[in-house]
Copies of this chain bind each other. A is one copy, B any other.
Amino acid sequence: MPQEDRRTRRTRRLLRDALVALVLERGYAGITVEDITERADLGRATFYSHYTDKDALLSQIVADLQAELDSRLEPLLRAPSVGFSGKPILEMFRHAAEERDAYRVILRGEGDGRALREFMEARSAAAAMVFGHRARAMEVTPRIDIDVLARAWVGEQVAVLRWWLEAEPQPLSAEAVTHMLLELSLRGRYWANGFDGEPPTASGEGSPD
């Protein structure tokens, strides 16, 4: 005894897939409700018996995806050395690869960036919490403002993830790219042994140029 009618499940899935496919083809602003129902092979009236408008459908898609990602991440975020293992980022990249098209819609900023903003805000909040918790646990004042740190870390992930999802063909494995990301975030692009160029002149700032 399924709680949901088989028809509604089918309809919602069809609408979801149609929206995602069409947005990738023509952009969110370029498609109408009728375009969606036509692609899904459904009557236009059916759309409105499930969602109030295009935005509501997109919101639902994003909410479902976030919930799925959160449930996948939840166990990983309880581990003691979060932020050093790279497991959560890897898990996010894997999830994104599985739901590639939906992620592309979100990361492109379709829907006037609302979905992307919400996505990044959720990730940033989680990151800030982890960073803050660790700082308190070790009784240490972080060198860098925690809000800046969290935004930067998430911005990095999201920008690289978008590039990675849009690249054709995938140039790097999820493992390789997340490893680079973690490596970069932990140690920076300048490394003591000079792998990535010369060091800044002094101990901090104020180089000649």
Give the B-binding residues of A (Cβ under 8 A). 27-29, 76, 79-87, 108-114, 116-117, 120, 124, 134-135, 138, 140, 142-145, 147-149, 151-160, 162-163, 171-172, 177, 179-192, 194-201, 204-205, 207-209
Measured CB to CB, the closest approach of chain B to A190, in angstroms, equals 4
Which of B84, B159, B188 sits near A184, CB closer than 8 Å? Answer: B188
Query: Judging by beta carbons under 8 Å apart, are B209 and A148 in contact?
Result: no
Which residues of the partner chain B approach A151 to less than 8 Å between Cβ atoms? Answer: 159-160, 162-163
Query: Judging by beta carbons under 8 Å apart, are A155 and B159 in contact?
Result: yes
Bound state CA distance, A191 and B158, in angstroms? 24
Bound state CA distance, A86 and B207, in angstroms? 9
Which of B85, B116, B149 sits near A109, CB closer than 8 Å? Answer: B116
Which residues of the partner chain B approach A186 to less than 8 Å between Cβ atoms? Answer: 188-190, 200
Bound state CA distance, A201 and B151, in angstroms? 25
| List of 5 A-B pairs having minimum Cβ-Cβ separation, nearest first | A109-B113, A155-B159, A79-B209, A109-B109, A188-B188
Query: Judging by beta carbons under 8 Å apart, are A179 and B205 in contact?
Result: yes
Q: Which of A83, A152, A181, A207 gathers most chain B CB within 10 Å?
A: A152
Q: Are A152 and B148 also in contact (CB < 8 A) when A84-B198, A143-B196 are?
A: no
Query: Judging by beta carbons under 8 Å apart, are B197 and A189 in contact?
Result: no
Q: List 21 A-B contacts (CB under 8 A).
A: A29-B29, A79-B209, A81-B198, A81-B207, A84-B201, A108-B112, A109-B114, A113-B113, A124-B163, A140-B197, A142-B189, A142-B197, A145-B180, A148-B177, A151-B159, A151-B160, A152-B159, A153-B189, A183-B205, A185-B188, A192-B192
